[in-house]
Structure 1
Amino acid sequence: MPGKGTEPWALASMGELLSLARAMEQEAIDGYVALAARMRTENRPDLAAVFERLIAEEKGHLGKVDQWLGDRKPEPVSLAEPLFDDEGAGVVSPELLTSYRAFSMAVRNEERAFVFWSYAAAHAPSEEIRQAAERMAREELGHVATLRRERRRAFHEMRRGDPDSMKGDLPAFEQRLSELLSRVPASAFDERAERVRGFAKEALGRASALSDVPAGETPLLQHVPNSVTERLVPLCEFLLDCYLDLAEREATDSARARMQTFASDVIRCLYAAREL
């Protein structure tokens, strides 16, 4: 993900866009290779295997970008900050790492990439670049879904048998999200106040839409940790998991597209919530 000072919409050509996409995938591969090597050195083959799976996933993404590049030669990409963030996994004690934490780090990297390409599409200087950036965003959304599914599996392995849970209701959770967003003090987000108010309004809109036309069934709503609704980020995380899971389960294209749209909106909200 480009640094905070980088304008993601300043992409002048298709070659620049695809070169940036390639750089993002390659740096993720390099980051996971380094982490896998460290886990092997630290005698943590279980975590080395997790990072090897992430390497394979990213190499698949890189191959797809190379297909899109075709005969184009990748252009040099100059960024102020690294694209990949291992969130301290490269230096933290291996005893403190878990597969859940590894997948969480990977998920956040993919979410940042999704947000980047969404902004790139919104501010693209040409229709060709806009369509390509939207395609990148859709690819990243698929990556997010895959990794969050792996993270859920790791989470349930950690919390198997946890009795502290409830049955969930999506409209109620969206209303709760709107409430939490509305409670954020203005001083905590200053100039971002309008964005946060917009996210609160979007949450109420999704709650209303889901009440009028309910979504399908997802097992994620059967056992929801009680703590999910207490804080903004965990609630966004949970809603995103639900919409991504529902997008894979819905029977019609229109229903799947609806859940993907909800997931896209929640990712943007989640990204903003983490910055508060």
Structure 2
Amino acid sequence: MRSEPLLAIEPPAPVRNIGELYAIALTLTERAAQRYGKLAAASDEAFAPVRRVFEALSQREEERAEAIEKACIAAIGRAPAQADLRWMPMELVLAEELSDIENSLLSAAYGAWALAVRHRERAFIFWTYIAARADIGIVRTAAESMAREALRDGNLLRRERRLAWRAERRDALAGDAPGATELSSAALLESLLLKDIFRWSQDAPAPQRRHLLSLIGDGSQMSEANDALPRAEAFDEIKRRALRRAEQLSSIYLDEADKAVDPSRLELAQQLAAHSIARLADLRTIASTPE
């Protein structure tokens, strides 16, 4: 399911001197610090566990930027400058990835650490490209050092990711979440989501109603169950709950695909994840459509 390359495009040209190398490194680091810092400043109380992760990540990048400036001054007698750049470095910390975390109803520390690991893996690949294409020894050596730093960082972040996963797993086993990493728990969530989507469709405008019902069939199988559903709930609460359950199901299937060893179980989890992600995208589109 997650077979896309970490680095979408290769660096467009070799780095010609050490000043250019440090300018690239500083640009990437300042960009990461800014984007992590934006999430670190999020004020939503429900985002607090994730915000603390981004506070730590932002601080790490700020410290890295200071170290890059000092290394550049030691090497060429001045700090890196934008004028040293011949091409703008590609994005290693993607805004859309961070937006997914920020907008998710299920954001947790594990997901934030996992994304940070991915960013450092991307940095490692980037710097290995730079080192491999360098014509000058000092540039190659410095790029190799930055690749090793990214690798070390990735290992440290993986440790934080494991600790977060264990903590969240303990909460799940204690009853805070209904077996969120097991396919067997998904059947109940699917049933609950089906009811939520049907209830959503009943109060939605006609175009949205048709779209919603297309996600669950024509809704005829819900006619009897609908009589037993509570009527006092607010329309917005039904929508939020449906989105939350759809997102949780996508996470369950993706996690199961990541863990699967048996090929048939992997194929099933991937199929379920693909369907669930498409459904979640449809629900988000419907939810954002003006009524």
TM-score w.r.t. length of structure 2: 0.52
- The aligned counterpart of 2:36 is 32
Distance 1:85 1:98 in 2: 18
CA contact (8 A) 1:110 1:144 kept: yes
CA distance 1:110–1:3, shift in 2 (3 Å): closer
Distance 2:130 2:98 in 1: 29
**CA offsets 1:86-116 (integer angstroms, 9 cap, x no match):** 4433255342211111111111111000001
CA contact (8 A) 1:3 1:81 kept: no
Report % sequence identity.
32
Aligned counterparts, 1:133-152, within 5 A: 133-152=143-162
- The aligned counterpart of 1:129 is 139
Distance 1:98 1:36 in 2: 14
**CA offsets 1:147-171 (integer angstroms, 9 cap, x no match):** 111101111112238799xxxxxxx
Following superposition, the deviation at residue 72 of structure 1 comes to 2.4
Distance 1:65 1:84 in 2: 18
CA contact (8 A) 2:130 2:140 kept: yes
CA distance 1:21–1:37, shift in 2 (3 Å): same
Unaligned runs of 5+ in 1: 165-224, 235-276
Amino acid at match of 2:93: F
Of 88, 93, 118, the residue aligned with 1:79 is 88
- Give the ranges of 4+ consecutive aligned residues of structure 1 lying more than 6 Å apart after TM superposition: 161-164
Instruction: Report the structure number with the largest CA radius of gyration.
Output: 2
Distance 1:3 1:79 in 2: 15
* Number of equivalenced pairs: 171
Amino acid at match of 1:126: I
Aligned counterparts, 1:76-225, within 5 A: 76=82, 77=85, 78-79=87-88, 81-90=90-99, 92-160=102-170
Distance 1:149 1:3 in 2: 23
CA contact (8 A) 1:9 1:121 kept: no
Distance 2:106 2:26 in 1: 32
TM-score w.r.t. length of structure 1: 0.54
CA contact (8 A) 1:35 1:90 kept: no
- The aligned counterpart of 2:62 is 59
Two-structure CA RMSD over aligned residues (Å): 3.1
